[in-house]
Amino acid sequence: MLVVVVVPGLDGKMKKMWKSACATNGERIDKSFAERITVWIVQIIMNLRCVCRSLCWPFGSATLDSRHCVFALSILTLLMQVVVEANSWWSLAMNPLLIPEAYIIGAQPLCSQLVGLSQGQKKLCQLYQDHMQYIGEGAKTGIRECQYQFRHRRWNCSTVDNSSVFGRVMHIASRETAFTYAISAAGVVNAVSRACREGELSSCGCSRAARPKDLPRDWLWGGCGDNLNYGYRFSKEFVDAREREKSYPKGSYDSARQMMNLHNNEAGRRTVSDLAHVSCKCHGVSGSCSLKTCWLQLADFRKVGDALKEKYDSAAAMKLNTRGKLVQLNSKFNAPTNHDLVYLESSPDYCLKNQSTGSLGTVGRLCNKTSEGMDGCELMCCGRGYDQYKAQIVERCHCKFHWCCYVKCKRCTKIVDQFVCK
């Protein structure tokens, strides 16, 4: 993206700085740059003057006077838009405002200020104010499950301290990115479907799914099931909005990435749907179970994570064909279905910290000396070796069952060997 601002009276040095700083090519503007420019703009608006201060970077000894106010006001909205567009709705998982009351009072201003939402998502926020808390919970559930599934891998789904959540690693169309999109979309389906069942949302209630054909006739179909149909549709509308409102040239890398993201979002949602099952409760004298009431229930989210992790391991490498469609890189394999994950680029090795790829490296990571898997010191440490040290841990011990019905344990301390990558 190239931003060109023409302001009368603007000196050449400032023009050059803005031209180079704003030529981001779709990448996120550096956080420190945005902060310093924002401070400068606020100073101008408040009629403050700044001379020879480090805060005035990059203007050196230039005195900021009223001639710059027009410039500041003209780029303020543009600057903030560029920063926000590079962020993600995943940041809702970190947002402290995710409480229903915050959306009921002054919803429109709040929706417009939420970092990471696209224009379409902001409109949905205004229409479905009470849903936003559960979108955030869904994103948080997805992030936690991602971190659990990859806890023994070089890339462990680490988050960074900004509204992009995962940092630059998501700029690579890799298997890891595919999994992250899928698990996040699945998290929203899970959270919204359950919120419907619990009566937390005004526009949905218990599941109205049709009675399964194989359910015994004398069993009742009812209860209050998770509203999978509503959660699926809302997740599709909200999560996919960012991708669908963009338009890219046919055959471009951006269009391929757009199709990849939409495909993996759908794979995540379908995994939740595939794992949903019928749950029943017995009724009758003394638990005789002469009658059963059954309903639709979502699987525990850990099962969703396990299933998507398997799909990650078997994800299909894709490429664009001459018609601008995604096709499998290796035509010898079966084409991926809507339930499978797809990716476009090979993953970096994640061994060392690399700002360009977003890799945090494995220096300082715990490893398993006796394992030959990815959590083993040889693979986790990328051949760099490891340090050994003693650590004190506290664990439950001497557990006893007490009638009725609980288990009581003591807490014991022991010294163990731990191994950390160099």
pLDDT by residue (tens digit) across 367-422?
999 999 999 999 999 999 999 999 999 999 999 998 888 899 999 999 999 999 99
154 pLDDT exceeds 60? yes
Distance CA 300, CA 226 (A): 12
Return the DSSP state at 28. P
Between 48 and 267, name the one with better pLDDT: 267
Q: What is the model's pLDDT at position 114?
A: 81
Q: Please report, as a single letter, which amino acid is at residue 234.
A: F
SS3 of 383, please? coil
Long-range contacts of 248-257, Cβ-Cβ distance < 8 Å, separation of 24 or more: 250/324, 251/320, 251/322, 251/324, 254/26, 255/320, 255/324, 256/173, 256/318, 256/319, 256/320, 256/326, 256/344, 257/173, 257/344
Model confidence band, residue 333 (pLDDT cutoffs 50, 70, 90):
confident
Model confidence band, residue 244 (pLDDT cutoffs 50, 70, 90):
very high
389: enclosing H helix or E strand: strand 386-402
Mean pLDDT over the full length of the chain = 80
Q: What is the model's pLDDT at position 50?
A: 41
**Mean pLDDT value of segment 210-217:** 87
Domains plus CATH for the chain?
12-85 (no CATH), 94-343 (no CATH), 362-421 (3.30.2460.20)
Residues in the chain: 422
ω before 405 within 30° of 0 (cis)? yes
343 pLDDT exceeds 60? yes
Distance CA 263, CA 336 (A): 10
The tokens describing 80, both together, are 């903030």
Q: What is the model's pLDDT at position 66?
A: 45
Q: What is the model's pLDDT at position 264?
A: 97
Distance CA 140, CA 93 (A): 5
Lowest mean pLDDT among 35-44, 235-244, 346-355: 35-44
Q: What is the model's pLDDT at position 87?
A: 64
* Cβ neighbourhood burial of 57 (10 Å; 0-12, 13-18, 19+): middle
ω before 421 within 30° of 0 (cis)? no
